[in-house]
Amino acid sequence: MPKLIENIRAQLLAEAQRQVAERGYAKTTIRSVAEACGIAVGTVYNYFPSKEMLVATFLAEAWEKCLSRIEAQDLTGPKCRLRGIYDGLLGFLECHGAIFADEEAEKTFASVFPARHQMLWEQLAALAAPACSDVPGTEAGFAARFAAEALLTWAVEGVPFEQLWPYLSAAVSETSREGSAS
């Protein structure tokens, strides 16, 4: 009789995430994840066609949770909204930042990075939009996209929000759609 394993997909994702954080991307293998979960290598392939998809899946699911946490906050006022987004990014990077600094992972995911960056940028711009008003004569949504890119870039660099705020506030209007409260 085959072994019954509950929540195998979740176990695989959690184990892969743990191994990547502790050992790095290159030393995490389908075999090491399977062994840690007490299953055959072939079983992993029933859920994920490759290590890349396994890692991409746990990152995508963690990102969706991060977005949900940001959206669930009371983000009233431009400064509060942009700080909430920034803090959410920092939390995500605290848990998963090592993979973005891993040279082997960078080589593996380089071909998909531009599309993923665009997706993150658009998601963050949508969250930032209520805090931003466009300057007359600029493209609609530019201020939100500017704020999103700044938040994303400087969170990766670890720059404190208070250092960013004077620059971000230039993209935020006192007449933004959610009011001038900071």
Q: Is the Cβ–Cβ distance between 47 and 12 less than 8 Å?
A: yes
pLDDT of the residue at 170: 80
Average pLDDT rounded to a whole number, residues 143-160: 92
Q: What average pLDDT does this structure show over 122-151? A: 86
Task: Tally Cβ neighbours within 10 Å of residue 101.
Answer: 12
- Give the residue among 86, 76, 79, 71 at the shortest CA–CA distance from 178: 76
The residue ranking higher by pLDDT, 107 or 123, is: 123
For residue range 59-93, list pLDDT tens digits in order. 999 999 999 999 998 888 899 999 999 999 999 99
Tell me what pLDDT residue 118 has.
85
